[in-house]
Structure 1
Amino acid sequence: MKSRLKNIAGLLALSLFINSCSSDDNGSAPADGTSGDVELFFDNGVAGDALMLGNSYTNSNGETLIFERFTYIVSNFVLIKEDGSEFTYPKNESYFIINEETGQFTVHLENVPAGDYKKIKFGIGVDQQRYLQGETAQQSFWDLAFANNMTWTWSTGYRFINCQGTFTVDPAHGGDTTSRGFMIHQGSNTATDNYREVVLNLPTTARVREGEMPNIHLKSDANVILDGDTKIELHHNLNGAGTAASIMAGENLITIANNTKKMFTVDHVHNGAGTHH
């Protein structure tokens, strides 16, 4: 009799364990009206390699770049469920700076309605609607952007991307191996609106629950700025003295804006209470 009771108890424990695992795998339905947080981690790289300031990287243009600065603005986050319904993060709080120099790689979204999210949408830069609200309405973010070298003057607005360093050119591509500086300051101007949006599928559902925080790990590829769908060669953008390359206006900014629509991919999603990268 005792042996039978032990067997029954063992079967019950096994059943509870299997049900528990099944519940963890499938996820329980979120309680109505509850919310949680979402963290996004931006992992900067160059054509599949980790981006390290001071390291050199050679692109398909025959140019070898050493990055000394790589900073960009991401904004206007939207989380999308499988049925297409969207949660738009409050606009006034939806502007963030990712800065390789200072080690700022995370975006933390608070009070996101509990649910299962399959896509994420966000902007690169600051949209015209926000900019035209005026300086007073966005003073705190303007000050933050200024502190991170992401502004021009107020009349000319924000830098969306600030990418700087030095480069050399392979003689086979018309270079002379001389090291020259480069500056790429991407943003909108009076002629063009260079703000862009990206929509990315999540490889795993991001489960937002009260007390649980999914971590979405994104990879950004600095190489696509110059070496994306449309190529831009730094040595064709030298100043009059031929001592440095500067890209801050003109058609190249439109090209960069379009290239950067493919700068981001989602690597993986961690669901749970902790922070993962």
Structure 2
Amino acid sequence: MKRAFIFSIFIITAATVFVSCKEDDPDPGKLQITFEMAKDGQTVNLNETFANDSVAAVRIENLKFYLSHIILEDKGELRDVEIVDFVQGRIAFTFDDIDAKTYSGLSFDVGLDNDQNASYPPDFETGTPLSASWAMYWSWAMKYRFVIIEGRGAPDGTFDASPDDFNLVIHPGMDGWNRAVNLSDDIVIKEGRTTSLTVQIDVDDMFNGPAGFMDLRLENTSHTTPADKDIAEKFMVNFAAAMSAK
């Protein structure tokens, strides 16, 4: 009888400890980050025409760019490198196993650090960000393009192949050109749930930001060569500054 009583006490105590541990260790949550282009707070899709400060009609047909050192403040680095590709629909990323609590923001670099930029695509598995799958590597420079933005512009507002129409082709990429983006709004991760964060890229600000106004009639092409790298650098600075959390 005494042994049965002691055994019952042991079972109750163990169950209490188990329940207590379960209460103290909530299930982790997830964070999903989605990128979108926007104008005046409204989504802009690829191949959608919008007005710009310098021309009446702009159409972005291709946009992809590198992210590096994605950091959730108060937790640490979530991923060292990722690629966003609007044409392929690779615009959302989910990060698992994040403790349920409030974090003080998210930060990342647009572009690659110097070590990442010195990488060689064949060294990476197909489909991974630094592999050849994304056509971001310049073989002639043995470096990566940090951003590819391509499209068209029509100063008079009509795409009719007139002499004033132009192609938009800007490919920035150079050691030291990675640009920090800090999104300081609180991010609340809830137990067992996915928190969604949208990063908007303002299509006006990407051509008119901290590095200055870009007149797309004149500044619409750069491959980061000595003759045109000022255009690429100006765009790189403005592009990163055009990002904000929604």
- TM-score range (shorter-chain normalised) is 0.7 to 0.9
Partner of 1:226: 207
- Residue in structure 1 matching 2:48, options 50, 55, 63: 55
Q: Is the 8 A contact 1:168 1:177 kept in 2?
A: no
Aligned counterparts, 1:1-277, within 5 A: 31=24, 35-80=28-73, 85-89=74-78, 93-132=79-118, 138-139=124-125, 140-143=128-131, 146-153=132-139, 155-170=141-156, 178-188=164-174, 193-202=176-185, 204-209=186-191, 211-229=192-210, 230-237=212-219, 245-249=220-224, 250-267=229-246
**SS of aligned partner of 2:240:** helix
Shift of 1:70: 1.6
Q: Is the 8 A contact 1:38 1:208 kept in 2?
A: no
Aligned residues: 213
Closer/same/farther in 2, CA of residues 225 and 94 from structure 1, 3 Å limit: same
Separation (CA, whole Å) in 2 of partners of 1:148 and 1:69: 12
Partner letter of residue 180 of structure 2? E
Partner letter of residue 67 of structure 2? V
Closer/same/farther in 2, CA of residues 126 and 262 from structure 1, 3 Å limit: same
Partner letter of residue 244 of structure 2? T
Separation (CA, whole Å) in 2 of partners of 1:33 and 1:109: 17
Separation (CA, whole Å) in 2 of partners of 1:48 and 1:214: 21
Shift of 1:163: 0.9
Cα RMSD of the aligned pairs, angstroms, is 2.8
**Runs of 4+ that moved beyond 6 A:** none
Partner letter of residue 204 of structure 2? N
Separation (CA, whole Å) in 2 of partners of 1:73 and 1:152: 14
Could you list the per-position Cα deviations for residues 244-273 of structure 1 after superposition, in whole angstroms to 9, with x for gaps in the alignment? x41222122221222123221111xxxxxx
Partner of 2:20: none
Shift of 1:35: 3.9
Separation (CA, whole Å) in 2 of partners of 1:154 and 1:35: 45
Q: Alignment identity in percent?
A: 16
Q: Is the 8 A contact 1:87 1:112 kept in 2?
A: no
Shift of 1:214: 1.4
- Of the structure 1 ranges 129-138 and 39-48, higher mean CA displacement relative to structure 2 is found in 129-138
Shift of 1:107: 1.4
**TM-score, length of structure 1 as denominator length:** 0.66
Separation (CA, whole Å) in 2 of partners of 1:31 and 1:266: 31
Separation (CA, whole Å) in 2 of partners of 1:50 and 1:32: 39
**SS of aligned partner of 1:233:** coil
Partner letter of residue 255 of structure 1? K
Separation (CA, whole Å) in 1 of partners of 2:145 and 2:40: 23
Q: Is the 8 A contact 1:225 1:260 kept in 2?
A: yes
**TM-score, length of structure 2 as denominator length:** 0.74
Could you list the per-position Cα deviations for residues 180-208 of structure 1 after superposition, in whole angstroms to 9, with x for gaps in the alignment? 212011222xxx52101111122x53225
Could you list the runs of 5+ residues in structure 1 that have no partner in the other structure?
A: 1-29, 238-244, 268-277
Separation (CA, whole Å) in 2 of partners of 1:78 and 1:31: 26
Partner letter of residue 247 of structure 1? S
